[in-house]
Amino acid sequence: MKRPRPLDPLRSIKVKIGIVTVVTAATSAMIVKWGYYFGFRARITLPFAVLGSLMVTQLVAHGMTAPLREMTAAARAMARGRYDQRVRVTSRDEVGELGRAFNTMAADLAEVERQRREFVANVSHELRTPITALQAVLENVADGVTPATPEVVEGALQQTERLGRLVKQLLDLSKVDAGVAKLDLAVFDLRSLAEETIAEAAANHRAEYLLETLPGLTCNADRDRLHQVMANLLDNAGRHSPAGGVVTVTAGLDQDGAVRIEVTDDGPGIPAEERPRVFERFVRGGTSGGGTGLGLAIARWVVDLHGGRIAVVDSDHGCRIRVTLP
């Protein structure tokens, strides 16, 4: 594996084959000439010429096909579920490019497999938590240990609502993976949409919601999808804000005419090093607060469908998430 590969600097496999052919022929001719010079017969020099040519060929051509053999072994290992195999790539020709592409593919497959295992584990955990809690409440009520008071029923209802939200989010993510989601674009008043989502969020959280928007601001987007984005952002902000905290929703226009929506809360905020990952599935910024870790992932998906951008931006306090739509 560590032997030198003298033809690696060359960029073409054809040139390498030509050089090997020339070196082989020259070696054979040289051995035959030396045999003739020292008076050896052809039947003696010919086997030595063949043997010498093979040895020189092995030395010069070492590494030309080694990546192909390594890729074959790595592909067989991947078929058995091992994605840690890589190919030693030092050449600059077509085989080297293939080897580098193979290593990239292997790394991508390893990451996909890691995400799949993590996704299954997280989904199992998220589903088990509300189901276990709901089962415990219903068992206590059925056994007469706990009376079916309004408070107990309300707790069971909250667990079913949490389970329903998780299932809905998982269905949305399945649409993302399948690539079947479509946008129903229309022009609508952004303030009315913001007021609608704020009313829904205020009914579920103890935070105070404030709206600051330009009068008559309209947006050309899929209203239901954008409602989903704002609902997820407001729910996330409400869960991370303390009791009596303020969640501010600001909507306006950028200099290039893009619609800008910002949601700011009074929570602990998100450290700068964690911000790039908060839009990944099942990643929670700060404390979870009972969330599933899917809301921001779905929000990014919807914004990407519109050709916009979503990011966590700097704020004097709490967390500020900015959505920009063309």
Report the alpha-carbon distance of residue 196 to residue 300 in Å, rounded. Answer: 21
| Residue showing tokens 């205020």 | 202
With beta carbons less than 8 A apart as the criterion, state whether 240 and 268 touch: yes
Question: pLDDT-derived band of residue 35, with 50, 70 and 90 as boundaries?
Answer: low
Please, what is the average pLDDT of the chain?
79
pLDDT, position 140: 85
Give the residue with greater pLDDT, 288 vs 322: 322
- For 248, the 3-state DSSP assignment is strand
Asked if pLDDT for residue 84 goes beyond 60, the answer is: yes
Alpha-carbon distance values, 13 to 56, 67, 76, 174 (Å): 18, 13, 25, 44
Average pLDDT for 187-207: 86
Report the 10 Å Cβ neighbour count for 210.
12
d(CA 96, CA 104) in angstroms, rounded, equals 12
Per cent of the chain over pLDDT 90 is 11
Record the pTM: 0.55
pLDDT confidence band for 78 (50 / 70 / 90):
confident
Structural domains of the chain sorted by starting position, each given as residue range(s) with its CATH number in brackets: 13-107 (no CATH), 126-178 (1.10.287.130), 185-325 (3.30.565.10)
pLDDT, one tens digit per residue, over 231-285 is 889 988 888 888 788 999 999 998 888 999 999 998 888 888 888 778 876 665 5
Q: What is the pLDDT of residue 38?
A: 62
Q: Is the pLDDT of residue 287 over 50?
A: no
Give residue 14's pLDDT: 67
